[in-house]
Amino acid sequence: MKKRIATVSLAGCFGCHMALLDIDERLLDLLQSVEFDRSPLNDLKKFTRRCDIGLVEGGCCNEENVHTLREFRRNCDVLIAVGQCAVMGGLPVMRNAIMHSEDPLRECLETAYLNSDKIYNPSNRIPNDEALPLLLDKVYTLAEVVKVDYQIPGCPPSGDTLWYTLSALLAGKPVELPYELLRYD
Amino acid sequence: MSKEFTFEIDGRLVKAVQGDTIMQAADAAGVYIPRLCDTEGLEPQGSCRVCVVKQNGRSVSACTQPAIADSKVENETEEIQGYRRNLVRMLYHEGNHLCPICEASGRCELQAMGYRLGITQATKYPYLQPVRPVDASHPDIVLDTNRCIFCGRCIRASRDIDGKHVFEYVGRGIHKRVGVNGDRLAQTNVELTDRAIDLATCPVGCIIQKGKGFFAPIGQRQFDHKPISLGVAAVDPEEAE
Ligand code: SF4
Ligand code: SF4
Ligand code: SF4
Ligand code: FES
Considering only alpha carbons, which residue of chain B is nearest residue A175? B120
Q: CA–CA separation, B33 vs B52, rounded Å?
A: 9
- Sort B233 into a burial class: Cβ within 10 Å, 0-12 / 13-18 / 19+: middle
Peptide bond into A156 cis (omega under 30): yes
Domain boundary, last residue among B34, B58, B76: B76
What is the average per-residue pLDDT within B217-239? Answer: 81
Tell me whether A151 touches chain B (CB under 8 Å): yes
Q: Report the alpha-carbon distance of residue B165 to residue B161 in Å, rounded.
A: 10
In the beta sheet, which residues pair with residue B143? B135, B207
Question: What's residue A101's pLDDT?
Answer: 77
At B117, is the pLDDT very low, low, confident or very high (cuts 50, 70, 90)?
Answer: very high
Say whether B101 and A91 touch across the interface (CB within 8 A).
Answer: yes
Judgement on whether residues B109 and B31 belong to the same structural domain of the protein = no
When the pLDDT of each residue in chain B is averaged and rounded to a whole number, the result is: 93
B residues 36..95 contacting A (CB < 8 A): 92
Query: Based on C-alpha coordinates, what's the Rg of chain B?
Result: 18
Higher pLDDT, A102 or A73: A73
Minimum mean pLDDT among A61-65, A68-72, B11-15, B130-134: which range? B130-134
The maximal CA–CA distance of chain A, rounded, in angstroms, is: 57
Domain ranges, residue B134: 83-215
Helix (H) or strand (E) holding A7: strand A3-9
* DSSP code, position B161: I
Mean pLDDT on B212-237: 84
Mean pLDDT of B100-129: 91
User: How close A54 comes to chain B (CA, Å)?
Assistant: 16
Residue B191: pLDDT over 80: yes
Q: How far is B56 from chain A (nearest CA, A)?
A: 31
- Say whether pLDDT at B123 is over 90: no
- Which residue did the predictor score with more confidence, B147 or B241? B147
From A182, which residue of chain B is nearest by alpha-carbon distance? B115
> What pLDDT does B121 receive?
75
Q: What is the whole-number distance in angstroms between the Cα of residue B218 and the centre of ligand 2?
A: 15
Task: Give B106: exposed, middle or buried? Use CB within 10 Å, 0-12, 13-18, 19+.
Answer: buried
CATH number (domain holding residue B169): 3.30.70.20
The 10s digit of each residue's pLDDT in A127-174 is 999 999 999 999 999 999 999 999 999 999 999 999 999 999 999 999
Indicate if B97 and B179 belong to the same structural domain. Answer: yes
Query: B53 C-alpha to center of ligand 4: Å?
Result: 10
In this structure, are residues B6 and B13 in contact, taking their beta carbons and an 8 Å threshold?
yes
Please indicate whether, in this complex, the C-beta atoms of A185 and B99 are within 8 angstroms of each other: yes
Instruction: List strand residue ranges (DSSP E) for chain B, in order.
Output: 4-9, 12-17, 52-55, 58-61, 72-74, 141-143, 167-170, 177-180, 207-209
* Average pLDDT for B65-80: 98
Helix segments in chain A, DSSP class H: 15-21, 26-33, 63-75, 84-88, 104-113, 159-170
Q: How far is CA A138 from the centre of its chain?
A: 16
Lowest-confidence pick of B73-87, B114-128, B137-151, B197-211: B114-128
Q: Which residue has the higher pLDDT, B121 or B177?
A: B177
Helices then strands, each counted (H, E), chain A: 6, 7
Q: Which atom of ligand 4 is nearest to the CA of B35?
A: 1
Task: Return the ligand 2 atom nearest residue B205 CA.
Answer: 1
Quick one: pLDDT band at residue A60, thresholds 50, 70, 90?
very high
> Which of B231, B238, B199, B204 lies closest to B105, judged by CA?
B204
Q: Is residue B95 part of a domain?
A: yes
> Residue ranges of the domains in chain A?
3-93+137-181
pLDDT for res B234: 63
CA distance A39 to chain B (A): 24
Looking at the fold, whether B146 and B129 belong to one and the same domain comes out as: yes
Label residue B235 by pLDDT band (50, 70, 90). Answer: low
Question: Between A100, A151, A182, which is nearest B133 by CB?
Answer: A100
Query: Residues B163, B214: contact at Cβ < 8 Å?
Result: no
Sign of CA dihedral B11, B17, B20, B24: negative
Residues 36-95 of A with CB under 8 A from B: 81, 84, 87-91, 93-94
- The reported pLDDT for the residue numbered A6 is 98
Round to whole Å and give the CA distance between B109 and B205. 9
Residue B202: C-alpha distances to residues A104, B151, B170, B239 (Å): 29, 8, 18, 17
Integer Cα distance of A25 and B30 in angstroms? 44
| B70, B90: one domain | no
What is the dotted CATH code of the domain comprising A3-93+137-181? Answer: 3.40.50.700
ipTM (interface pTM):
0.91
Residue B239 has pLDDT above 90, yes or no: no
Instruction: Check whether B238 has a pLDDT greater than 70.
Output: no
Q: Is residue B30 part of a domain?
A: yes
What is the arithmetic mean of pLDDT over B197-217?
A: 93
Note whether residue B221 is domain-resident: no
Query: What proportion of chain B, given as a percentage, has pLDDT over 70?
Result: 96
Please give the residue of chain A at the shortest CA–CA distance from B95: A97
Q: What is the pLDDT of residue B232?
A: 81
Residue B180 inside a domain? The answer is: yes
**CATH code for position B8:** 3.10.20.740
Q: Are residues B31 and B16 in the same domain?
A: yes
Residues 6+ apart with CB under 8 A from B224: A180, B106, B218
Average pLDDT of span B25-53: 96
Any long-range contacts for B84-88 (C-beta under 8 Å, 24+ apart)? Answer: B84/B34, B84/B50, B84/B52, B84/B113, B84/B117, B85/B117, B85/B118, B85/B119, B85/B121, B87/B48, B87/B49, B87/B50, B87/B52, B88/B36, B88/B50, B88/B113, B88/B114, B88/B117, B88/B119
The angle at the Cα of B135, spanning B129 to B138, to the nearest 5 degrees, equals: 160
Mean pLDDT for all residues in chain A? 94
**What's the pLDDT at A49?**
96
Q: What is the DSSP letter of B121?
A: -
Number of domains comprising chain B: 2
> What is the bridge-based pairing of β-strands A34-36 and A3-9?
parallel
Q: Which numbered atom of ligand 4 lies nearest the CA of B47?
A: 3
| Helices and strands, number each (H, E), in chain B | 5, 9
| pLDDT tens track for B79-91 | 999 999 999 999 9
Give the pLDDT mean for B83-105: 95
CA angle at A39 for the pair A36 and A40, rounded to the nearest 5°? 130
Cβ–ligand 2 contact at B114 (below 6 Å) = no
CB within 8 A of B141, min separation 6: which ones? B185, B190, B192, B197, B207, B208, B209, B210
Which of B147, B119, B132, B156 lies closest to B45 in space, CA to CA?
Answer: B156
Do B118 and B198 fall into the same domain?
yes
B127 touches chain A (CB under 8 A): yes
In the prediction, which pLDDT does A102 show?
81
Residue B209 — φ and ψ, nearest 5°? Answer: -85, 125
Q: What is the pLDDT of residue A145?
A: 96
Whether A179 contacts chain B with CB within 8 A: yes
Q: Which of B76, B94, B121 is the last residue of a domain?
A: B76
pLDDT of residue B212: 87
Q: What is the reported pLDDT for A118? A: 87
What pTM does this model have?
0.94
Between the CA of A84 and the centroid of ligand 3 the distance, in Å, is 24
Number of Cβ within a 10 Å radius of residue B175 = 9
Name the residue of B145, B190, B198 whose CB sits within 8 Å of the most ligand 3 atoms, as the mutation to test its pocket.
Answer: B145
* pLDDT of the residue at B236: 59
Residue pair B66/B21 in contact by the 8 Å Cβ criterion: yes
Distance from CA of A130 to the nearest CA of B (A): 30
Mark whether B33 and B131 lie in a shared domain.
no
Do B102 and B152 belong to one domain? yes
